[in-house]
Copies of this chain bind each other. A is one copy, B any other.
Amino acid sequence: MTEIPKRQVTLDEVAERAGVSRSAASRVINNAPHVSKAKREAVRRAVLDLGYVPNATARALATQQVGAVVLAISSDNPQAFADPFFAEVVVGISAVLEETELELMLLLATSARGQTRLEQLLRTRQTDGVMLMSMHGDDPLAALADKAEVPVVFGGCPVTFEPRYYVDADNRGGARLATEHLVTLGRTRIATITGRMDEGAGTARYKGYQEALAVAGLDAGRVAHGDFSEAGGSRAMAELLAGHPDLDAVFVASDQMAIGALRVLKDAGRSVPDDVAIVGFNDVISARHTEPPLTTVRQPIQSLGREMARMLLGLIAGETPTPLILPTRLIKRSST
């Protein structure tokens, strides 16, 4: 570990030390052509000796490229980000970005302040690109983002429109998978607890449920709406039990809600899976530890992050990527 230089070492110092002009030094550092081998070496040594690291800000100002992209979560609820889901997305994004020179900035746009910040980010190109996850349907920022000059990739597809660039999990397919599984098991009175219907994931999963039942010729009328939260799942399950006491299976649009539903079922004296079979969605860690362990649909969350980052990189490089739908698959455990 070399000593820590007190002040910023400038390119001029490197050039002087190496006995070359500043432009030569600059060329070497950005390994551009038109520099003799000798000077190249001299500059290299000077860089090492002096511990030179280019000033990113100055470079950004000169090149008009910021060197950073932002992951923006636009939500009306500050706690939304606490969902382990995002941590996984971030891991995926970060893995891809680590191989580039780009930094990752995180923007939790929940207050009016944050929203304004995100808006400015989109208007003024203070970032090289943004990955946006918008958590409620009528988010005006989402529409604005899709038209912004700055490259924007959506994580998940908003319910109100289809963005130019996005990557999403196959929510509809996953839901169909889950529901078909219930059908295969011989269940005939299959209910569903939906997620928020103003989120793309919520509507898509509901659609998948309907499709599967239509194909099987079964009634898709046993529906209660939740909000992806555990408490919401409990509420919806109670509602279902009251309105459709005959149900023998439930496709629940998220594991969190399934956990809530499980408790209500238990309190009502219905055994899972004997009386009622349950399938969740997401395969969060706790899905393995419920009683009984939850059959659920797994979506490749880290891949989601990775692909978002890759798509953004492509966009920045001037490519025109096409939207990407990531496959989901059924994880069978004992709740069915």
Chain A residues at the B interface, C-beta cutoff of 8 Å: 1, 4-6, 8, 51, 53, 55-58, 60-61, 66, 68, 71, 78-79, 81-84, 86-88, 90-91, 94-95, 98-99, 103-108, 110-111, 113-114, 120, 122-126, 140, 144, 147-149, 259, 285-286, 289-291
The reply to whether A98 and B113 contact each other, CB–CB distance below 8 Å, is yes
Q: Is the CB of B124 within 8 A of A55?
A: yes
CB distance from A115 to the nearest CB of B (A): 10
Cβ-defined partner of A91 (8 Å) among B61, B78, B147: B78
Assembled-state Cα–Cα distance A126/B66 (Å)? 13
By a CB distance below 8 angstroms, the chain B residues around A103 are: 105, 107
Contact of A81 among B61, B90, B144, B290 (CB under 8 A): B90
A106 touches B108 (CB 8 A): no
Q: Most chain-B CB neighbours within 10 Å: which of A57, A107, A114?
A: A57
A106: which of B53, B82, B90, B114 is its contact (CB, 8 Å)?
B90
A-B contact pairs, 17 of them (CB 8 A): A1-B140, A4-B144, A4-B147, A5-B123, A6-B149, A8-B125, A57-B126, A61-B61, A79-B91, A81-B87, A81-B90, A81-B91, A82-B91, A90-B108, A259-B289, A286-B286, A286-B289
Q: How far is the CB of A217 from chain B (nearest CB, A)?
A: 36
Q: How far is the CB of A106 from chain B (nearest CB, A)?
A: 5
Q: How many copies does the complex hold?
A: 2
User: A88: which B residues are within 8 A, CB to CB?
Assistant: 82
Q: How far is the CB of A277 from chain B (nearest CB, A)?
A: 19
Which residues of chain B are near A148, meaning CB under 8 Å?
A: 4
Contact of A108 (CB < 8 Å), options: B55, B94, B107, B120: B94
Q: Which residues from chain B contact A290 at a C-beta distance below 8 Å?
A: 289
- In whole angstroms, what is the CA distance A140 to B2 when docked? 13
Assess A99 versus B78: contact at CB under 8 Å? Given A51-B123, A56-B126, A259-B289: no
Residues of chain B contacted by A86 (CB below 8 angstroms): 87
Contact partners of A147 in chain B: CB under 8 A: 4
A106 neighbours in B (Cβ, 8 Å):
71, 90, 94, 104-106
Residues of B within 8 A of A6 (CB): 149
Least CB distance, A105 to chain B, in whole angstroms: 5
Known: A82-B87, A90-B108. 11 other contacts (CB 8 A): A4-B123, A6-B149, A53-B126, A55-B61, A55-B126, A57-B61, A68-B105, A81-B90, A83-B87, A99-B113, A285-B286
When C-beta atoms are compared, the residue in chain B nearest to A122 turns out to be B4
Across the interface, which residues of B come within 8 angstroms of A259, CB to CB? Answer: 289
- Bound complex: CA of A55 vs CA of B125, how far in Å? 9
Cβ B84 vs Cβ A82 within 8 A = yes
Report how far A82 CA is from B120 CA in the complex, Å: 30
Once the chains are docked, how many angstroms separate the CA of A226 from the CA of B74?
38
Query: CA separation between A122 and B2, bound complex, in Å?
Result: 13
**Assembled-state Cα–Cα distance A83/B105 (Å):** 19
Nearest CB in chain B: distance from A107 CB, A: 7
The 3 closest A-B pairs by CB, nearest first: A286-B286, A84-B84, A94-B108
